[in-house]
Structure 1
Amino acid sequence: MPRNTWFETVAIAQQRAKKRLPKSVYSSLISASEKGLTVADNVESFGELGFAPHVIGAPEKRDMATTVMGQEISMPVIISPTGVQAVDPDGEVAVARAAAARGTAMGLSSFASKPIEEVVAVNGKIFFQIYWLGDRAAIAARAQRAKEAGAVGLIVTTDWSFSHGRDWGSPQIPEQMDLKTIAKMMPEGLSRPGWFLQWAKTLRPPNLRVPNQGGRGEPGPPFFQAYGEWMGTPPPTWEDIAWLRELWGGPFMLKGIVRVDDAKRAVDAGVSAISVSNHGGNNLDGTPASIRCLPAIADAVGDEVEVLLDGGIRRGSDVVKSVALGARAVMIGRAYLWGLAAGGQTGVENVLDILRGGIDSALMGLGRSSIHELSAEDILIPEGFTRALGVPNI
């Protein structure tokens, strides 16, 4: 990446994304449920945690490699699945290439704009994400397509309560990009000429269909048609989760855990991993930050399943704090989307490099030679910081 396009923090990536993207596109990346209490706490809670550094004895080299659901990754950071990525024409394919270039895995949303076959072709470490949408036969068909495409794991996301009330207003996302819609949105697109010209060169508008909800080679339904079907599908039971886990027969993550009792039920259902997550603040507003819920969950089930954290990661030091408090790795969402908007594939690589550099610096300051040496003793945790939800009163 040319030096004049390089950014040194995720915050700068966000600033560049805001300048480059049309207002409605950018707002879709930052909005969250209702007042945004949870999305703010996800980020700000990391600032309440401190480090207990050493001043002598820093190791010359520091190891960041680990595994997630059987996949070797170069650092404890993987890509979290996010829906239609209209911030860049190459979308999920660009993200997958970036993740592969930096030696890590990617979660691919079933609401992605690119077919799973195209994404797996550029990164062999793809975990396919499924929402509970439609009947068991439809869900089984999507899982089978993912398996045939080469997905190495499955992520099931259930933590979204369909809150439409957003104090800053929800961005208006069109049903489809027909000529009428293109004409209506043209002034907003022209206000960001760099973004507009990038799409104009492709001779096609952003894809608002979700090809992974249909059969291979099919365009898939429009986003809102699939979204409506999802909203109309009864939520899954624990028996449903156990059924899908057995059907898949391989590495299986349940994403959206914030309670200890739910974590234990997930173990009983046979999952390989859980993600401590509140859907990036897009679930029930007022849910505590993921990092506040992590220690109790890791203590309860960390010896039985892999525990990951999703929510609020903006720095490598955030990653280190998460690993020290019990996470095997973290999943990033908004951070890489801002990188994608700021610089395409190289922008995502830039974000991953920023996180890697921050992890390395924190390990050095703590005197640790490996992320596997991290523990809660490295972290200053203020009284009342953690939230042990779903723990029986004794």
Structure 2
Amino acid sequence: MQRPEWLANPWRQNPWFESVAVAQERARKRLPKPVYGALVAGSERGQTIAENERAFGELGLAPHVVGQHAERRLSTTVFGRDVALPVLLSPTGVQAVHPDGEVAVARAAAARGTVVGLSNFASKSVEEVTATGADTFFQMYWTGDRDTMVQRMQRAHAAGVHGLIATLDWSFSTGRDWGSPEIPEQVDLKTMVRMAPKVVTKPRWLWEFGRTGAIPDLTAPNLAPPGGTAPTFFGAYYEWMTTPPPSWDDVAWMRRTWSQISGTPFVLKGVCRVDDALRAVDVGVAGISVSNHGGNNLDGTPAAIRMVRPIADRVGGQIDVVMDGGVRRGSDVVKALALGAKAVLIGRAYLWGLAANGGAGVENVLDVLSGGIDSALRGLAVGSVTELTPEHLLIPADFDRTLGGTSAPSDLLFDR
């Protein structure tokens, strides 16, 4: 006799949610305060994280009353990969909001036909994630010496990833005006006793981990040396902190090395300036992500959506331009594409879905965004996401932020 669902999960509720905002609220109620705080916190005063969302509200849509298409096409191609919708899952660090973490996220990406990024600092190995069948891009920071980075690239290629994302825009400001959430070095018995008052009030979260017999994993298995032990998150952070920052020559080496190892796309994440975008083209990247690291980097950076059009206008004909930062609804995706992005990356949005309902919650978030994209296309009388242009928007005259000028750099030429 099969036991009833309410007995299998005593905190059962209607698992479906109709918006990313509802997913966020469920995540807030479900997660211990330090865990939820790590998801929503930005650097310093939080100016950039707030601006990332607010800027989308300044863009209007210009609908048609007649001429809508009976069917709309959401599929596109980005970084050489065919995707069912122009929403990719951004690499994010240790996903301790759910015991299945990055594996659940990858399964959701595969189920919805899109690409998932896997972080250097992920809590699941690249082998576990690619085993789901998900179209996976491995993300690397510039951390460790070159031999170490080559070993990590080779491991990712052997696991079957379809591209590499280099994230270079992290400066890690610890000065948050509201205080930083506590992240322990490791979850051992002493830590669990000390943090018990903060988690005992979240029985559903505890129950999810308890039923699997697991505890939140704060190690980084993708940074483990061959035959060695995975470092803790802070051990990985120390390696990054003690690695000299890269030059453009280093980025060119990274791109060439990945091309020799894999031959799959190399993407540079964290571009905010036109001159940096032009240098990225010189290096030979397949694409860039216009991003301010979700407001977790240099506070005071303009909203990512404000920097899309100036960059896409200069390099969008040569490489794929995507953006991330502040995407919360399907109409946000449509606005980004109309300004020149090929797709968007989401981070917090799918983590809230993961916290709310595991892998099904991530699928739910993608369905919410897909439905919003389709609805916007219908209202705009557009038959495909590839047909969106700035003419479909109402754009304030002072909306764009052009950083780094518009002239091409002449001092650097790289051997591709």
- Please state which band the TM-score falls in when normalised by the shorter chain: over 0.9
Measured after TM superposition, the shift of residue 393 of structure 1 is 8.1
- Aligned position for 2:190: 180
Structure 2 residue 208 is matched with structure 1 residue 194: no
Q: Conserved in 2, the CA contact under 8 Å of 1:21 and 1:341?
A: yes
Partners of 2:294 and 2:284 in 1: how far apart?
Answer: 25
Equivalent residue, structure 2, for 1:66: 76
Q: Which residue of 2 aligns with 1:75?
A: 85
- Which of 386, 389, 401 is 1:387 aligned to? 401
- Structure 2 residue 109 is matched with structure 1 residue 99: yes
Shift of residue 216, structure 1, vs aligned partner: 5.9
Q: Contact conserved, 2:106 with 2:134, CA < 8 A, in 1?
A: no
Deviation at 1:110, TM superposition (A): 0.7
- Within 5 Å, give how 1:138-157 maps onto structure 2: 138-157=148-167
Distance apart, 1:202 and its partner CA:
2.2
Match in the other structure for 1:369: 383
Match of 2:326 in 1: 312
Deviates more, 1:362-371 or 1:177-186: 177-186
The 1:291–1:27 alpha-carbon spacing in structure 2 relative to 1, beyond 3 Å, is same
- Select which of 51, 54, 61 maps to 1:41: 51
* Paired position in structure 1 for 2:357: 343
CA–CA distance in 2 between the matches of 1:205 and 1:6? Answer: 26
In 2, Cα distance between equivalents of 1:392 and 1:258 = 13
Q: How many equivalent residue pairs? A: 394
Percent identity among equivalent residues? 61
Give the ranges of 4+ consecutive aligned residues of structure 1 lying more than 4 Å apart after TM superposition: 216-219
Instruction: Give the distance between the partners of 1:101 and 1:278, measured in 2 at CA.
Output: 29
Does the Cα contact within 8 Å between 1:211 and 1:218 map onto a contact in 2?
A: no
Query: Which runs of 5 or more structure 1 residues have no equivalent in the other structure?
Result: none
Name the counterpart of 1:171: 181
Kindly indicate whether the alpha-carbon contact (under 8 Å) linking 2:273 and 2:403 is maintained by their aligned counterparts in 1: yes
Q: Are residue 254 (structure 1) and residue 264 (structure 2) matched?
A: no
1:289 partnered with 2:306: no
Q: Match of 1:244? A: 254
* Residues in 1 aligned to 2:111 and 2:176: alpha-carbon distance in whole angstroms: 37
> In the alignment, is the contact (CA less than 8 A) between 1:45 and 1:291 conserved in 2?
yes
1:53 aligned residue = 63
Q: CA deviation at 1:219?
A: 4.5
Preserved contact between residue 295 and residue 325 of structure 1 (Cα < 8 Å):
yes
The DSSP-based 3-state class of the residue aligned with 1:283 is: coil
Cα RMSD (Å) of the superposition?
1.5
Within 2, Cα distance between the matches of 1:314 and 1:121?
A: 29
| Secondary structure in 1 matching 2:288 | strand
- In structure 1, the residue matched to 2:14 is 4
Matching residue's letter, 2:319: V
Q: Which runs of 5+ in 2 are unaligned?
A: 6-11, 409-416
Question: Partners in 2 of 1:283 and 1:242 — Cα distance?
Answer: 23
> 2 CA distance for matches of 1:353 and 1:216?
39
Kindly state the Cα deviation for residue 189 of structure 1 after the two structures are TM-superposed. 1.6
Which residue of 102, 115, 136 corresponds with 1:126?
136
Counterpart CA distance in 2 for 1:234 and 1:158 is 12
CA distance in 2, matches of 1:219, 1:70: 35
**Residue 203 (structure 1) shift:** 2.1
Q: Which stretch of structure 1 is more off in the superposition, 193-202 or 37-46?
A: 193-202
Residue in 2 aligned with 1:225?
235
Shift of 1:4: 1.5
Q: Is the 1:210–1:219 Cα contact (8 Å) retained in structure 2?
A: no
- Which residue, out of 314, 323, 328, partners 2:337? 323
Partner letter of residue 359 of structure 1? I
Task: State whether residues 124 and 150 of structure 1, in contact with CA within 8 Å, keep that contact through their aligned partners in structure 2.
Answer: no
Moved more, 136-145 or 354-363: 136-145
The more displaced of 67-76 and 344-353 is: 67-76
SS in 2 for 1:308: strand
Q: SS of 1:347's equivalent?
A: helix
Contact 1:336 1:348 in 2 (8 A): yes
Distance 2:65 2:400 in 1: 28
Please show how residues 22-33 of structure 1 align to structure 2 within 5 Å.
Answer: 22-33=32-43
Which letter maps to 1:349? E
Q: CA deviation at 1:252?
A: 0.5
Maintained 8 Å contact 2:274/2:406: no
Distance 2:99 2:194 in 1: 20
8 Å CA contact 2:106, 2:129 repeated in 1: yes
Does the residue aligned with 2:124 lie in a helix, a strand or coil? coil
The answer to whether the Cα contact below 8 Å between 1:32 and 1:281 also exists between their aligned partners in 2 is yes
